[in-house]
Amino acid sequence: MIKKFLPLLILPLVIACKNNSKQEDKASAVTFVTLDPGHFHAALVQKTQLPGVDSNVYVYAPEGEDLQLHLKRIDGFNNRAEDPTHWDEQVYTGPDFFQKMIEEKKGNVVVMAGNNQKKTEYIFKTVDAGMNVLADKPMAINKEGFNLLKDAFAKAKEKNVLLYDIMTERFEINTMLQKEFSQIESVFGTLEKGTPDNPAVTKESVHYFYKFVSGNILQRPSWFMDVTQQGEGIVDVTTHLVDLVQWECFPGVALDYNKDVELVAARRWPTTMTLSQFGAITKQTAFPEYFKNTMANDSTLNVFSNGEINYKLRGVHAKVSVTWGYKAPEGTGDTHYSIMRGTRANLIIRQGQEEGFKPVLYIEPVKKDDATFEQALKTALSQLQKKYPGIDIKKSTNGWQAVIPEKYNTGHEAHFGQVTEAYLKYLKEGKLPDWEVPNMITKYYITTSALEMAKKNDAQ
């Protein structure tokens, strides 16, 4: 507040400076636009109030259940007892919702997390209009989409906007420490090359259609089980796994899919779902007509949500796989397994019954009688503790187990806020790290090419 005793000549100058400052703040602020939010990930971007982001969010979507579920989730964030958000959703639901968004340009960051059938097209047209895009994976679900996505990245560069996908798994603490230890040669040695039968890097992800999100049973849209709209498992969840292989094995390295990738093998297979199971997660009493070509019989649906890719990245053999069940056994949930094989130690993330179905990182020396390993590990740990205070190790059956304070286990939902914060930092800097765009292109080349290979194998 300006004191009354300030000279009158100074008062207009102070007011003018304050007004200019407000105008600059407003000009530099980020305003979200949410496009057709059919996936709950769209809401998770807004689970926390983010500094520098306008509380007004402009939503463009067709009227329907997807939109209502999204708004209900945002309302839940706004009305929770602890640390509520303050989002004000401004909604447009005309049939021309996409064109309206492009014309009005109410915000400068478009969040896309929903039906993937038109997502790549929406991405291209949005960056062509000069708007930044923060997109949920996958950004492309087939080869045609991959080619258009490449054009979208070129267009984003031309228009000086940032196109980025939401890679939440980079913020899971065990994965972060797996990467950290793999860069310490005294502990890990060097990354093995591996073979197709014994890859140097393996990442396996297990998911379930029936799950809880923010304490409630997740209601999925019917189209989520239609691979022409959601994408097959081999191009969906594997996006995260392929990303982690690149991020951990070749940190900060710009990859070239034309030179650095060799696909070895790929396969796909379905998860069956009965009408009663389908109804439990969608609230629908019948299968929509668009499923007619994927029905096993009148009452059972084949969902091609499972896939496996064997490939070489810069000569390193890697394998990623995703499987979907209907409902996890009591007390369990989505799980992740990952191994990086080094010449001196293997770094393994397990998430089974022994771990209480929570991810745990193990550091297991290749030579059990290596007398110098423990000291090398403790020296490396002391360095990592400066970056991650409180982490520790303890003996396990085959080596050591990372002991991680609970404060680092923020959970999958919180990772969306962390990704968004990183993206906002890039926006402020005006550019992504040099390796991010070529590596996104490489990632989607691998997933979409693997789908083509798997389908070709089925046809033979």
Q: Summarize pLDDT for 47-70 with one digit per residue, the tens.
A: 999 999 999 999 999 999 999 999
pLDDT, the chain, mean: 92
Predicted pLDDT at 19: 44
Predicted pLDDT at 10: 42
| Predicted confidence (pLDDT) at residue 14 exceeds the cutoff of 90 | no
In sequence order, the β-bridge partners of residue 217 are 212
Identify residue 422 by its one-letter amino acid code. A
CATH number of the domain bearing residue 163: 3.40.50.720
Q: 353 and 230 in one domain?
A: yes
- Residue ranges of alpha helices (H) inside 218-256 are 238-249
Average pLDDT over residues 214-219: 78
Neighbours of 26 (CB within 10 A): 10
Locate tokens 């992504």: which residue?
A: 432
Q: 285 and 255 in one domain?
A: yes
Per residue in 315-345, pLDDT (tens digit) is: 999 999 999 999 987 777 788 999 999 999 9
Contact of 306 with 207, CB cutoff 8 Å: no
Contact of 235 with 447, CB cutoff 8 Å: yes
| Predicted confidence (pLDDT) at residue 16 exceeds the cutoff of 70 | no
Neighbours of 250 (CB within 10 A): 18
Calculate the alpha carbon distances from 448 to 159, 233, 259, 454 in Å: 26, 11, 17, 10
Q: 367 and 231 in one domain?
A: yes
pLDDT band at 276 (very low <50, low <70, confident <90, very high): very high
How many domains, the chain?
2
Predicted pLDDT at 354: 87
Contact of 142 with 216, CB cutoff 8 Å: no
Q: 163 and 24 in one domain?
A: yes
Contact of 389 with 369, CB cutoff 8 Å: no
4, part of any domain: no
Domain boundary among 148, 167, 186: 167
Average pLDDT over residues 410-432: 93
Predicted pLDDT at 169: 95
Q: 330 and 216 in one domain?
A: yes
Average pLDDT over residues 151-159: 98
In sequence order, the β-bridge partners of residue 317 are 312
Predicted pLDDT at 291: 94
Predicted pLDDT at 11: 42
- Torsion-angle region of 194 (φ positive above 0: left; ψ -120 to 50: alpha; else: beta): left
In sequence order, the β-bridge partners of residue 212 are 217
Predicted pLDDT at 460: 77
| Predicted confidence (pLDDT) at residue 17 exceeds the cutoff of 60 | no
| Predicted confidence (pLDDT) at residue 100 exceeds the cutoff of 70 | yes
Q: 244 and 121 in one domain?
A: no
Cα–Cα distance, 333 to 328 (Å, whole number) = 5
Per residue in 282-319, pLDDT (tens digit) is: 999 999 999 988 888 888 999 999 999 999 999 999 99
Domain boundary among 133, 167, 201: 167
328, part of any domain: yes
Q: What is the pTM of this model?
A: 0.90
Q: 173 and 162 in one domain?
A: no
37, part of any domain: yes
Q: 254 and 276 in one domain?
A: yes
Average pLDDT over residues 152-164: 98
Average pLDDT over residues 215-226: 87
Which residues span the domain enclosing 386?
Answer: 169-459
3, part of any domain: no
Domain boundary among 167, 188, 214: 167
> What percentage of the chain has pLDDT greater than the value 70?
94
Q: 230 and 156 in one domain?
A: no
Average pLDDT over residues 160-172: 97
User: Which residues, at least 6 apart from 108, have a Cβ–Cβ distance to it below 8 Å?
Assistant: 30, 31, 33, 131, 132
Predicted pLDDT at 410: 87
**Packing angle of the helix pair 373-387, 173-182 (nearest 10 deg):** 130
User: Which tokens hold the place of 202?
Assistant: 């393996």
294, part of any domain: yes
